[in-house]
Amino acid sequence: MNASSLDRYQRAESLIHQLDPRIKILLSMLFILSNVLLPDGAAIGFFLSWMLILLINIISKLQLSFILKRSFIALPFTLAAITVIFTLPGETIAEWEIGSWVLTATDSGLLRFLSILVRSWLSVQVAILLTATTTFPDIAHSLRHLHFPKILISILSFMYRYLFVLSEEAQRLLKARAARAARIPKEKARSFLWQAKVAGNMVGQLFVRSLERSERVYSAMQARGFRGQFLTLSPHHLRNKDYLIGVIGFTLLMSIQFIQFNI
């Protein structure tokens, strides 16, 4: 892992990039809500939603492949959902015999499964668009504007700041272990318990170093006047443009729902 893999933000000069992060977060949540509200088999709704995503993608001047590549990640849960094909009651479309079991695939089961996949796929693209067009510090700040608890936001900011530093330390520990692995006798190496002990030592090391670092950071904060209340500037101001786009976004999502249910 290097520094850039922590940075999902793709810099560009676009309308979406400049949009107030609060609006982006609210519209993203609304969009995902809209996706999940579309019923099974809502092909038109899904299609329109996807068109909207592509539209935002283009306006944001992002590469289409960027989003597409990252949107296919929900594999373990897909496996969990796949069984719904065989268990939802409906008209049989196919049957397989595996030993003494008979698997009956139903139409409604297949439809539900595919719909779950599509909803998930659409939603994750919305989330990717959000992080690709908004820096994490901005996301954190606007969550504060949206009245999320201050302490949680502060923790997120610190966490983000030290993510790379501590991840690097973890990588170094892993490399050191790998370097020593060649010299370890085979019997010891295969022992489950021994491996856990080594891993535990590494995590323990990291823990102690992190705790001590947090003390030093606290001292540094005190040295610059920190007395318990964490203050920040107000970097975001809503402009008319932001409100306008908010309303437009809302209307578009409503229209998708409206069209889907009135065809």
Partner 1 sequence: MPILHQDSVKKHRLKKDASILEVIDLRHDYPDGNQALNGISLKINRGEKVALVGPNGSGKSTLMLHTNGLLKGDGSISISGLDVVEENYSTVRALVGLVFQNPDDQLFSPTVFEDVAFGPLHMGLDEKIVKTRVQNALKQVNMVGYAQRYSYHLSVGEKKRIAIATVLSMEPEILILDEPTAGLDPRARRSLLELLRKLPQTMLVATHDMLMVKELFHRMIVLDEGLVVADGLTKDIFKDPDLLEAHGLEMP
Partner 2 sequence: MYLSPTPLHIPDGFLSILISILFWAISIIFVGLAICRSQKELEDRQIPLMGVMAAFIFAAQMINFPVAGGTSGHLLGGALAAITLGPWAGILVMTSVVALQGLLFQDGGLLVMGANIFNMGILTTLVGYSFYRIAIHQKKNIRLASAGIAAFLGVLAAALMTAIQLWLSGTSPAKIVFPAMLGIHSLIGIGEALITVATLGFIYKVRPTILSLQNIEEKAKKGWVIPGFTIAILVVLLSPLASTNPDGLEKVANELGFIELSQASIFEIFPDYILPIFGDGNFSNIFAGIIGLLLVGLFAYFIGKFINKRKTS
Site track 160-199 with partner 1 (rule: CB under 8 A), x = hit? xxxxxx----------------------------------
Q: Which is nearer to partner 2, 19 or 128 (CB)?
A: 128
CB 18 → partner 1: shortest distance, Å? Answer: 14
Q: Which is nearer to partner 1, 43 or 170 (CB)?
A: 170
Identify residue 22 by its one-letter amino acid code.
R
Residue 184 Ramachandran class (φ > 0 left, ψ -120 to 50 alpha, else beta): beta
If one asks whether residue 232 binds partner 1 (CB under 8 A), the answer comes out as yes
Question: Containing H/E element for 41?
Answer: none
CB 183 → partner 2: shortest distance, Å? Answer: 17
Please, which of residues 128-147 interact with partner 1 by CB under 8 A? 136-137, 140-141, 144-145
CA atoms within a 13 Å half-sphere pointing along the CA-CB vector of 196:
3
Distance CA 252, CA 256 (A): 6
CB 168 → partner 2: shortest distance, Å? Answer: 8
Q: Which stretch binds partner 1 (CB under 8 A): 88-96, 190-198, 214-222, 251-259?
A: 214-222
Q: Which is nearer to partner 1, 7 or 95 (CB)?
A: 7
Closest by CA position to 59, among listed 218, 249, 231: 249
Contact in structure between 34 and 257 (CB atoms under 8 Å)? yes
**Which 3 state secondary structure label does DSSP give 183?**
coil
CB 185 → partner 2: shortest distance, Å? Answer: 16
**Which 3 state secondary structure label does DSSP give 258?**
helix
CB 259 → partner 2: shortest distance, Å? Answer: 10
CB 225 → partner 1: shortest distance, Å? Answer: 4
Q: Which is nearer to partner 1, 183 or 227 (CB)?
A: 227
Please, which of residues 29-88 interact with partner 1 by CB under 8 A? none
> Which ranges of the chain does DSSP label H, i.e. alpha helix?
15-18, 21-37, 43-59, 64-70, 75-82, 84-87, 107-133, 136-145, 150-181, 186-190, 192-223, 240-262
Helical axes 240-262 vs 21-37, angle rounded to 10°: 10
Q: Which is nearer to partner 2, 57 or 123 (CB)?
A: 123
Q: What is the binding site for partner 1 (CB under 8 A)?
A: 3, 6-7, 136-137, 140-141, 144-145, 157-158, 160-165, 213, 216-217, 219-227, 229, 231-234, 236
